[in-house]
């Protein structure tokens, strides 16, 4: 998966979990929870969807690596290599 596809995957998951959130203007450098009304349960749902859709396990010790869209891409790049974007 390319970096752009990883971003699309994360935005797609967020859109499914929080359909009322506007994901069109996400600043990739700013923490997602500062830009959107995502609570801790939403965040856990994002982690669970990564596992369900892409088979990516994120241990709780690594949750902070998923704070912003950029950090998500950096963390997931190796874990999502060779995977296909789920639409």
The CATH code of the domain that includes 44 is: 1.10.1200.10
Total domain count for the chain? 1
pLDDT higher than threshold 90 for residue 35: yes
**CA-to-CA separations, 35 to 8, 58, 67, in angstroms, rounded:** 17, 22, 11
Residue 48 lies in a domain: yes
As a whole-number percent, the residues of the chain with pLDDT over 70 amount to 99
Q: Which pLDDT belongs to residue 26?
A: 95
Q: Over 80: is that where the pLDDT of 87 sits?
A: no
* pLDDT band at residue 86 under the 50/70/90 scheme: confident
- The reply to whether 87 falls in a domain is no
Q: What is the pTM of this model?
A: 0.91
- Over residues 46-72, the pLDDT tens digits come to 999 999 999 999 999 999 999 999 999
């Amino acid at each position: 998966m390319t970096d752009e596809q990883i971003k699309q995957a994360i935005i797609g998951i967020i859109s499914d979990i929080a359909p009322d959130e506007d994901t069109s203007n996400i600043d990739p450098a700013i923490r997602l929870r500062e830009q959107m009304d995502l609570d801790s349960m939403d965040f856990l749902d994002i982690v669970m969807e990564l596992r369900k859709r892409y088979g990516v396990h994120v241990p709780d010790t690594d949750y902070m690596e998923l704070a912003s869209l950029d950090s998500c891409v950096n963390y997931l790049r190796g874990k999502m290599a060779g995977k296909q974007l789920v639409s």
